[in-house]
Structure 1
Amino acid sequence: MVTRSDRYKDQFLAILAHELRNPLTPLRMGLDILNSQPSPERAQQIHAVMDRQLVHLVRLVDDLLDVSRVSQGKIVLKKERIPLSDIIQSAVEAARPLVDSGRHALRVDMPVRPMWVNGDRTRLAQVVGNLLSNAAKYTPPGGKLSLEVHREGQDVRIVVIDNGLGIPLAMQSKIFELFTQVGEHTARAQGGLGIGLALVKQFVAMHDGSIAVQSDGENTGSRFTVRLPLLAEIPEGASANAGQPVRPEHPPRRILVVDDNEDVAETIGWLLSEMGHEFRLVHDGREACDAAREFKPDAVLLDIGMPQMDGYAVCRAFREDPALRDLPVIAQSGWGQEQDKNKTAKAGFDHHIVKPVGYDDLERALTLAIQSRRIAHPVP
């Protein structure tokens, strides 16, 4: 007998397969076109498409992982004093590809007076970015979107409005439930896994806020309102950038890349070369120590899941070798939950980055690992 949970599971898996194939299709086709040596203009267009689809694919995977973490109570917020304008800017940048591809007009209304919240920069940007992305996905081409920010007493209201497909009245009480799909919207728009709004509600609640939805029904557009508590304003004369890190200049470095996947290692090498760094590739963990003694790197990018000798064993070998024990070692892995990061820290790694790694994340990881190792082990 097929139960209700079985039907939900089958429906979710079907939607997941569909959503994963969507970005994989232009990635596969883009590679085929690039192999035919297209014109520089066409190649640039293909690169832009592939970049957008890769970002979308990573976001799907991250959402799936976040659902697991939230359900197990393993989400840990890194709260700090943040200017609300930074969150709005990050969210708009994240949603911009969907907005532009839908040829939508986006209006952003922010008050001039600065506002500050105590929150996790990444998660709050994810909240607003998800709402904007949904507005773009569920609005027919050429629609109108708006993002309005209003101060209301000790709170701030962040309102995302669209003139799109709307939400049936019967569905509005369920819209924030996990795996909820609204009627025929999956066929009429770019769809989704039905987990984004559930995550949004969880993240808003973890910031002592609330979220509400309003729609007059199908084809009437939607309005999502997030309410968050504000922090006291910075006193006049104080620096608005106090406590904010200053991005340092990055000198050329020597980086040893240890990864048994030759394609992954080579592309990381290309990225390091674009950054101005020198690199050497090693595909067997057993050769890492010898390569480090010869190459004398400033830092090591070390894969975890290697055969013969995994990343944990290689890192321990570095720490036990008097000539290598002070090398900054960065774990790079597809596993990125807190227990995974705790495990690499216990093994002696200085930092942990999760694949796939972008330019800024890689440069930041190298800087942090090298600086932290120098502070912990200063040169006499």
Structure 2
Amino acid sequence: MQTFRGPSSSGSAISTPPVAPFEVSELQQRARALEEELEYRKELEGALRQALADRERAEAERERLLSLERAARADAETASRSKDEFLAVLSHELRTPLNAILGWTHIVSDPREDAATVQHALEVIRRNAAVQLRVIEDLLDVSRCVTGKMRISADDIDLGDVVASAIDSVRLAAEARRVEIALHIDDPARGATGDAARLQQVVWNLLSNAVKFTPAEGRVDVRLERAGARAQIVVRDTGVGIARGFLPHVFERFRQEDTGTARKDGGLGLGLAVVRYLVEAHGGTVAAESAGEGRGATFTVTLPLRESGTDSARLAAPEQQVSLRHVRVLLVDDDDDTRELFTRMLTRAGATVESAACVEEALELLSSRELHVLISDIGMPGRDGYVLIDAIRRHADPRVHGIRAVAVTSYAGDHYRARAIDGGYDEYVAKPLDPGRFAATIAQLIGHPGRGHGGVG
């Protein structure tokens, strides 16, 4: 039995029992294990933080993609609604004049109607046919703009004449609506380079809108003035104005402020889109301003002045009537009414006309007659105008395969022009036709003097 011994009188310390080596090793192993555990936990915490950050980024990306998808869906739905609205408006704009044309045609077919009624009916039919043609031309112009195939000439022109001609075109409509048009022209702003017909189309579109949206007793002011090195055409009206929210979209295709069935004014919403394209194609700009609904609108077109000076462009000599005397024409069209109409146009110009309703008849006539020019429709049942011209160009008889040929068709557009020319036609004319230009095209094609200098033998 051991006995506890207290501190001696000499003050010696209590002795610590010695630690065994295996205990030290065990403690070191535990320390290393704890250090490894701490490192592992740090790595886990880092990985967890990284995973959380990755998740947050993934959620943010998911939200971004969802937002883009929602925006794309909204845009698609808006585009779909716009397309449906446009098609509805297009149907309305085509059917309305067609209804008047067909209705008045039935009325004048009644032999009991007097001459005054017939004359009035013809005027209504002419006016509505012109409206329908305008709709079709707007569609074609937009197509040419989108594809970059709008042809713009670069001639020395007088902007004063361009503006005045556009005003003459809308004057009757303005008088009918009791809208005054005032014009001011600064002579230094007249000279420019461009396509007079296309720029007249620009001013005509702006004026037509101004007259259409200006109430009775209103006023449209048109100014041509110089602003530095540029000409400025300003069309300002006292009409219904443009809502501020719609103003940024006024030059966009197929956009109209009022598209419902209760809308007061017609049109497809294409005119101003064409205006912007034509102006920019001339190196100019166009802008719209309005203080709001009921406060009128102002459209400003700027165009570069002609560098060579500011003198007015030379006026073209008035076009003389073209004669096709002694010209023998083969007219090919499957539509009876069209053949009769074109025959009248050509015979009035002095031509002798043979007509055929199909390819077989045309080839037979070409083989048995001495003819100067072929005028053929493209779209015909069975064998069309392309088949006809191919057979002609392959024909063994030089009198047949060498005939000058004009494609006259309702398939309008640069694509169809190129296809007709590539197919073997010498010229292409889109329906409906202007009789004078039609005759001039034929005379120029066959080298016929056409103005009293002799004729084709």
Scaled by the length of structure 1, the TM-score of the pair is 0.88
Q: CA deviation at 1:352?
A: 0.3
- Over aligned residue pairs, what C-alpha RMSD do you find? 3.0
Q: CA deviation at 1:209?
A: 0.4
CA distance in 2 between counterparts of 1:148 and 1:194 reads: 25
Q: CA deviation at 1:307?
A: 2.5
Please say if residues 266 and 281 of structure 1, whose CA atoms lie closer than 8 Å, have aligned partners that are also in contact.
no
**Structure 1 residues 146 and 367: alpha-carbon distance in aligned structure 2, compared to 1, 3 A threshold:** farther
1:260 aligns with 2:334: yes
Please say if residues 322 and 349 of structure 2, whose CA atoms lie closer than 8 Å, have aligned partners that are also in contact.
no
Q: How does 1:1-380 map to 2 (within 5 A)?
A: 3-37=77-111, 38-112=113-187, 115-183=190-258, 187=262, 189-232=264-307, 240-241=314-315, 247=320, 249-252=322-325, 253-319=327-393, 320=395, 321-371=397-447
Q: CA deviation at 1:113?
A: 5.6
Comparing 187-196 with 327-336, greater Cα deviation is found at 187-196
Q: CA deviation at 1:188?
A: 5.3
Comparing 329-338 with 227-236, greater Cα deviation is found at 227-236
**Structure 1 residues 203 and 215: alpha-carbon distance in aligned structure 2, compared to 1, 3 A threshold:** same
Q: CA deviation at 1:176?
A: 0.9
Q: CA deviation at 1:93?
A: 4.1
**Structure 1 residues 282 and 55: alpha-carbon distance in aligned structure 2, compared to 1, 3 A threshold:** same
CA distance in 1 between counterparts of 2:448 and 2:345 reads: 23
CA distance in 2 between counterparts of 1:275 and 1:318 reads: 26
In structure 1, what residue type is equivalent to 2:373?
A
Q: Who wins on radius of gyration, i.e. which is larger? A: 2
CA distance in 2 between counterparts of 1:183 and 1:287 reads: 52
SS for the counterpart of 1:297 is coil
Q: Which consecutive residues of structure 1, in runs of 5 or more, have no partner in the other structure?
A: none
User: What is the aligned partner in structure 1 of residue 31 from structure 2?
Assistant: none
Comparing 279-288 with 145-154, greater Cα deviation is found at 145-154
Percent of counterpart pairs with the same letter? Answer: 32
Query: How far does the alpha carbon of each residue in 1:64-114 deviate from its partner, in whole angstroms, 9 at most, with x for none?
Result: 122222222232323222222342244234434533442322223233567
CA distance in 1 between counterparts of 2:399 and 2:259 reads: 63
CA distance in 1 between counterparts of 2:261 and 2:200 reads: 25
CA distance in 1 between counterparts of 2:168 and 2:350 reads: 27
Scaled by the length of structure 2, the TM-score of the pair is 0.74
In structure 2, what residue type is equivalent to 1:370?
I
CA distance in 1 between counterparts of 2:81 and 2:156 reads: 44
Please say if residues 185 and 191 of structure 1, whose CA atoms lie closer than 8 Å, have aligned partners that are also in contact.
no
**Structure 1 residues 228 and 90: alpha-carbon distance in aligned structure 2, compared to 1, 3 A threshold:** same
CA distance in 2 between counterparts of 1:354 and 1:115 reads: 32
**Structure 1 residues 50 and 295: alpha-carbon distance in aligned structure 2, compared to 1, 3 A threshold:** farther
In structure 2, what residue type is equivalent to 1:125?
Q
